[in-house]
Amino acid sequence: MKPMEPPSLKLCLKPSYFLIGRNSRGHWVVQDEQGTCGGLFIDRTQALRFAMFENGNRPQAVFMVPGVLELDLSRNVAAA
């Protein structure tokens, strides 16, 4: 019998890409394309580390947002 995956790993279901930017308060934001996975970070290094870990270490799937990026994880997963 295969061991079950921890629930936290099931939240990010292989998103195609991640956005990284700063919110209006200056915190670093990471958000996946589907709006189902992300977080707030103190510095850019930690935000980038999270995005790279979650996307399988694919730098081409991480995009820096030049403007304000607010974290929004309220999207309906079933709609995506």
Q: What is the pLDDT of residue 28?
A: 97
The one-letter amino acid at 27: H
Q: What is the pLDDT of residue 59?
A: 94
DSSP 3: P
Report, as ranges of residue numbers, the positions in the chain whose pLDDT lies below 50: 1-11, 79-80
Q: Specify the fold of 7-75.
A: Double Stranded RNA Binding Domain (3.30.160)
Q: What is the pLDDT of residue 8?
A: 41
Put simply, whether the predicted model's pTM sits higher than 0.75 gets the answer no
Q: What is the pLDDT of residue 35?
A: 85
CB 38 within 8 A of CB 31: yes
